[in-house]
Amino acid sequence: MSGPESSVANTSSKRGGKSGKRNRGRGRNWIQHSGKELIFSASRKERLAPYNLPHDHDIGDGLLASSPTETLLPPHVGTMLAEGGIRNVEYIGSYDWADSEEPTIIVPGSPPQWVERDVPFQLSPDEGVRIVDHNTLKLPLFPLLPLLTAVDTIGKDVDWPCIDFVSDRTNLRKLYKWIERGDNVRDFRIDFELVGERTVFLNRWEPGDRDVAGNERADVPLSTSSDDSLRNALNTLSISAAAPIEDKTSHLKLPAHGLRVVRGGSEVPQESVVELMTRSTISMQLDTSIIIPPIYLSQASHLHIGIHTQGQFSQIHKISTMHKSDSISGGEKQMDGDFQKLGMVLKNIQEIAIAHKDKSLSLVCRGGELGVYERASCQSCLPDDSDLEAVCNTIS
């Protein structure tokens, strides 16, 4: 079980408050309040020590300079655009990572099926090591290749040169939080590069590809569906986290980059996708500023929120995003400006990528300041081999 088991002690409930700024989670030790007792939460380094995992990467690894070539500022939206927001969402592919030694995806993916359970019921905390990013762990040189391969395997007609961005949802959420929270956002990094004339690939960067289970924050979903590619009005492809399933059929191997493809699973209509979240009874008030961004960016049709006390779930709130409540609709309207700013930031990033088309670049946010840095490596995020022509021959 993941989720908001506790909240930070002695901090303001308002976003951007000074007290919140002290606890942005950069590896420091901090104190949680859970029920009747205070719990000491170890730093990430101390949590990982017993598992003998590789050391974390530094956010500045591989950058050519310590100072940015340029700095991005959150844009100002003076007049609200009449046609803002995500529109025309279309499913174009999905995949799951198989539990195998060599990188293997199952196409299409099969998300876990929701099964009704009578409340109350108890879930035990997750233990051990969890994978933060399957793509980076299993295919570190080409983390977005599984997405492109899945779309090609499904056979959807995608005009790749007309796509502005290829990304996962995590990158979009990080940029959105930077816009929303300013200097009260966690440090993050996103590597990016131009592919073709206009398509920008946003590659996820994390300090490590594994973490200790059960260390989620209050605004992180309990779990998500299999990797799901979407084409929408932002011209962005977004995917969610993967869940391994069993090999079902014969496979096609692409030897040059080592990604193995297994045909299996089943396509799931977008209107059947469910987003899962948890809230503890200590902080069970549903904050739309936490709920809306992830479901808005994934365009999930349903949201199920489990309310629990130390793992015992007493309520399951079910929200249909197709038939929005007044609070959800009102929350979306309040956030329209931030979502429009996200589109403007993406446009700015695209312009930078085009202006520096022969360079490998990174967005690095430190202390709320978002800068553009040049990377030393010229390694492309796509393999340069003939096998990939079937995947994205129009942009490679």
The whole-number pLDDT of residue 80 equals 54
The residues near 111 (Cβ < 8 Å, ≥ 6 apart) are 94, 225, 226, 228, 243, 268, 273
Q: What is the pLDDT of residue 14?
A: 33
Express each pLDDT in 175-202 by its tens digit.
Answer: 999 998 888 999 999 999 999 899 999 9
> Residue 320 CB: number of other CB atoms within 10 A?
12
How high is the pLDDT of residue 215?
47
Rounded Cα–Cα distance for residues 359 and 19 (Å): 39
Average pLDDT of adjacent 10-residue blocks, the chain of 396 residues: 31 34 39 39 68 84 95 79 70 90 90 88 84 89 90 88 92 94 92 93 90 50 39 31 35 58 86 87 72 82 89 90 66 75 94 94 97 91 56 40
Q: pLDDT value at position 212?
A: 75
Q: Is residue 165 within 8 Å of 200, Cβ to Cβ?
A: yes
What pLDDT, in 10s, does the model give residues 121-159? 998 877 788 888 999 989 988 899 999 999 989 988 888
User: Torsions phi, psi of 23, nearest 5?
Assistant: -125, 50
